[in-house]
Structure 1
Amino acid sequence: MRRAWKDTPVARVDRHNTTRYWNAPGVDGLSCLHADFTTHDYAPHQHDAFVVAVTEHGGSEFKSRGRSDEARENVLLVFNPAEPHSGRMGWSKSWRYRSIYLTQPAIDQVMADLGIVRPAYFMRNVLADTDLIAAFARLHRSLDDGNDLLEERELLVASFGQLFVRHGDGTRSIPTVPRDEAAVSRVARRMASQHAQSGLSLNEMGLWVDMTPFQLIGLFKRTIGLTPHAYLTQLRLKAAIRQLKAGAPIADAALASGFYDQSALNRHFKRSFGITPLQYQRAGSVSPGR
């Protein structure tokens, strides 16, 4: 199982507070925390990392930059590396949240993916940005599932790219690309011929057209309306359908089409078509008379 690729999450449990912490695979220096607190207070501390946190339920009070503010479900929390802060439960009876930590190796990787030479600096810790809250929540859940390295990398690049562009100080020079039908066509053709390969990455696909991963994501979204990962998933689903029509077992169809395993095919098939591969296969075996 893919879970074995990453460090086993370290869980801490007491009667009032539960945490899980793990190092994510694929990007050195990227780690995650999922916490559910009812009594925990944070003493003043700092991280050698960018910290981005999304509140799922409840909230807390925190102090940073000499002022107090609140973690709530409708805001994104962002702390610069080495920025001191503390926290307490305050008004809320619970605080369940997800946080992502980028130490220097991961910061370097994100900067390379975005095509910039220095990271953003954030003048505020609390950002009211609904789209980014959803993006980072999805990124964290993908890192938690640990089933798709390409999806995780794409979500990482896209979410931090938008965070830097919208709210970072002095980093709006992240290079973008115009709508380019020829470039996206070249990438799409190569993706179609290599869709069954498990190691396709944003870096590799970007090299095909001399683009950074962030530029490639923007190109696909502007030209096709899908991200590279979503487009590749559709190619794999079409290949799986061909396999299923030919009578291949579902597990074999999944692997031959480029999916990690049968459960990955089931999940994407149901998400795209509303039915499972088994339902699709059974329907094809019913005689026209019935």
Structure 2
Amino acid sequence: MRNASNLRETARLTRHPALDGLEMLAATYRDHAYALHTHPTWVFGVVTAGVERFRVGRTDNLAAPGSILVVNPEEPHDGEKGCEAGWSYRTCYPSPGLMREVADELELADLPMFSSAVLPAPDLARSFLVAHAGAGAEGAVESEAAMLVALAAIVRRFGDGRAQDTGAGPAGSAGRLALYDDLVTADLAVPLRLSALAAAAGVTRFQVIRDFKRTVGTTPGRYVRDRRVRRACDLIGEGLPLAAVAAETGFADQSHMTRAFKTVKGVTPAAYRAATAG
């Protein structure tokens, strides 16, 4: 492990083409802080130096070197330094398709979810780090297998094997959230007001706020930002110029998009584009 006092900010995002385009981040942060956000994927990571402090839902967590951190899909979470020097870690973001493959291998009835955000398993942490570090080296088959084995080992020991209740039922807050999502994502370039969401659902603006808080644990504004960043990722992957991406996803300008993008993805849109192109 490196000396935490010598940490210097870096961030490198790559993709593993053999693992459903698995996003893999190796980063060191001293002053960067993630805003509260969500992912449509899982998050698995291991801290290699320093300490990360992060909130998942209403729970505060500290991840020290050797800690495995896990976040389930759509769980609101943030991240910042947990000590003065900051933290270094390696993370990846497995898709539902990849996790379905892992679940099938382990003969789980449902996709695995995790009740704890920090997992005490130094042996699994070491295996994960070896697999992550080897993903960019020679031997694509070996690195592909190593990551699959590392993820399966974490799921086998800590995953509950039951699908998370995402609240997608037809009634109440969850049912209204589906309607809100349709309105938000229909045209991200169009400014959306709470009054429009409230009118569409036949509720008050206060109820809209409660629905977001109760169902996804965040505010409507943060939810819209997350959806804009997700769409920006898609458009960047399609090769659209960054200025055009910003305009199409509703950001005021490219600088605005860059600030929001980094608080969610940990890297700039330009760095994300380079990783996607690679």
Question: Counterpart of 2:35?
Answer: 43
CA distance, structure 2, for counterparts of residue 47 and residue 118 of structure 1? 19
Question: Counterpart of 1:248?
Answer: none
Mark the CA change 1:168 to 1:74 in structure 2 (over 3 Å): closer, same or farther.
Answer: same
Letter in 2 for 1:97: Y
2:49 is aligned, of 54, 57, 62, to: 57
Letter in 1 for 2:152: G
Question: Counterpart of 2:153?
Answer: 162
3-state SS in 2 of match to 1:144: coil
Mark the CA change 1:117 to 1:157 in structure 2 (over 3 Å): closer, same or farther.
Answer: farther
CA distance, structure 1, for counterparts of residue 84 and residue 46 of structure 2? 16
For residues 212-235 of structure 1, what are the alpha-carbon distances to aligned partners after superposition, in whole Å with 9 as ceiling and x for unaligned? Answer: xxxxxxxxxxxxxxxxxxxxxxxx
Question: Counterpart of 1:240?
Answer: none
CA distance, structure 2, for counterparts of residue 75 and residue 27 of structure 1? 23
* Ranges in structure 1 where 5+ consecutive residues have no aligned partner: 1-14, 172-290
CA distance, structure 2, for counterparts of residue 17 and residue 161 of structure 1? 31
For residues 141-195 of structure 1, what are the alpha-carbon distances to aligned partners after superposition, in whole Å with 9 as ceiling and x for unaligned? Answer: 11132x2122123212221221111111147xxxxxxxxxxxxxxxxxxxxxxxx
2:14 is aligned, of 8, 16, 22, to: 22
3-state SS in 1 of match to 2:83: coil
CA positional deviation for 1:16: 5.7
Question: Counterpart of 1:31?
Answer: 23
Matched, 1:67 2:59: yes
CA distance, structure 2, for counterparts of residue 134 and residue 101 of structure 1? 18
Q: Which has the larger radius of gyration?
A: 1
2:117 is aligned, of 125, 140, 143, to: 125
* Ranges in structure 2 where 5+ consecutive residues have no aligned partner: 1-6, 163-278
| Kept in 1: contact 2:135–2:143 (CA 8 A) | yes
Return the structure number with greater relative CO, CA threshold 8 A, min gap 6: 2
Matched, 1:92 2:84: yes
CA distance, structure 1, for counterparts of residue 74 and residue 158 of structure 2? 19
1:148 is aligned, of 111, 119, 139, to: 139
**Alignment RMSD:** 2.0
CA distance, structure 2, for counterparts of residue 169 and residue 116 of structure 1? 9
For residues 54-83 of structure 1, what are the alpha-carbon distances to aligned partners after superposition, in whole Å with 9 as ceiling and x for unaligned? Answer: 111111211113121112103110111111
CA positional deviation for 1:107: 2.2
Percentage identity across paired residues of the two chains: 29
3-state SS in 1 of match to 2:113: coil
CA distance, structure 2, for counterparts of residue 116 and residue 35 of structure 1? 32
Matched, 1:101 2:93: yes
3-state SS in 2 of match to 1:73: coil
1:192-203 to 2 correspondences below 5 Å: none
For residues 116-162 of structure 1, what are the alpha-carbon distances to aligned partners after superposition, in whole Å with 9 as ceiling and x for unaligned? Answer: 442211000000101110011011011132x2122123212221221
CA distance, structure 2, for counterparts of residue 62 and residue 45 of structure 1? 11
